Structure 1
Amino acid sequence: MNDSASPRGRVQAQLDTGPDSSTPGGQFAGSPYAVVRFNGVEYRLATARYAGRRARIFYVVPAFIPGLRSPAGMRVEWRTGGLFAPGTAGPGERRLVWSGTVPGPWMSERFDLRVQFDLRELRPVPGAALDFESYFEIEVLP
């Protein structure tokens, strides 16, 4: 399964200033955490080869994220349009988001992502942005 049919436009990040809107940079007052939101991330999964078969689909956060010293320094939370389950994961983790009989050649879903960073665990890479791309894995069931 792949998500190559997903729109490839970049989704604009929005800094979440938290309860104290005067705090700049998405950092909560007095906290070492920063929160960034990515709303409306569209995924279109090519599932034709699994259509009619029972399967489970997982959302995976990559294990290696340049600039992140430790997996404990980042947490991804997502809400969905209702087809897939909401959840949370850290780097190197995969979470079950859907289970059932694959309905057809495509499965589409919209995610609203909230990413929390522990600023103490970030070590910026010169000339590179903090960037990651989550992906999906499918397991066919007997």
Structure 2
Amino acid sequence: MTSPRLRRWPAAALLLCGAALAPAWAAVARLDDSASPRAQVRSDFSNAQRMDGNMVVLPLGRIEYRLATAPHVGRRARIFYVIPSMVAGLRSPAGMQVQWRGNGAFASGSGRPGDRVQVWNGVVQAPWMNETFELTLRVDPRELRMPSGSALSFESFFEIETLP
């Protein structure tokens, strides 16, 4: 018969090994962008431009973001642009690509619904970060299931990952 002390040894050893091998994980939080003039992106296809066969290009213009970074001042961090995985009227993430051009400290890039794309890396210096993206959508109309006359809309957001 095994003593109670020996039965606890494997569990305790596993716990200690797991703690020793676990990386120092970063803390992830959604950034408050409620001070932004317009977070919702919306297009009724009135400014659509055809290109490359079946793809439709929708220039959305400049979107200003004002991100509350006060809790993270002085910390090393990465900021990600997050495109929501569900976009009303879109059948598949492959049917839409969001492209942006940063007009400040944030990197330009692109992504599809469900993507989380890094746009900034460094030490947070101020309680607010302001950025403007020039947004363009590339949409495959075959992947849309929207009522006639309705608009394609979604609200991307930002996450911050503070590093140890």
TM range (shorter): 0.7 to 0.9
Question: Match for 1:2 among 7, 32, 38?
Answer: 32
The residue aligned with 1:20 is: none
Identity level (%):
52
1:98 to 1:11, Cα distance in 2 relative to 1, 3 A:
same
1:51 to 1:9, Cα distance in 2 relative to 1, 3 A:
closer
Structure 2: how far apart are the matches of 1:121 and 1:14?
Answer: 16
Look up the SS of the partner of 1:104 in the other structure: coil
Q: CA deviation at 1:129?
A: 2.4
Structure 2: how far apart are the matches of 1:9 and 1:78?
Answer: 14
Q: Which has the larger radius of gyration?
A: 2
1:39 to 1:128, Cα distance in 2 relative to 1, 3 A:
closer
Q: CA deviation at 1:40?
A: 1.5
Q: Which amino acid aligns with 2:49?
A: G
TM-score (norm 1): 0.85
1:136 aligns with 2:158: yes
Structure 1 runs, 4 residues or longer, greater than 2 Å off: 8-17, 125-129
Q: Which amino acid aligns with 1:141?
A: L
CA contact (8 A) 1:55 1:101 kept: yes
TM-score (norm 2): 0.74
Question: Match for 1:43 among 62, 65, 75?
Answer: 65
Higher helix share: 2
The residue aligned with 2:15 is: none
Q: Which amino acid aligns with 2:56?
A: A
1:85 to 1:4, Cα distance in 2 relative to 1, 3 A:
same
RMSD: 2.5
1:64 aligns with 2:86: yes
CA contact (8 A) 1:47 1:104 kept: yes
Structure 2: how far apart are the matches of 1:86 and 1:16?
Answer: 25
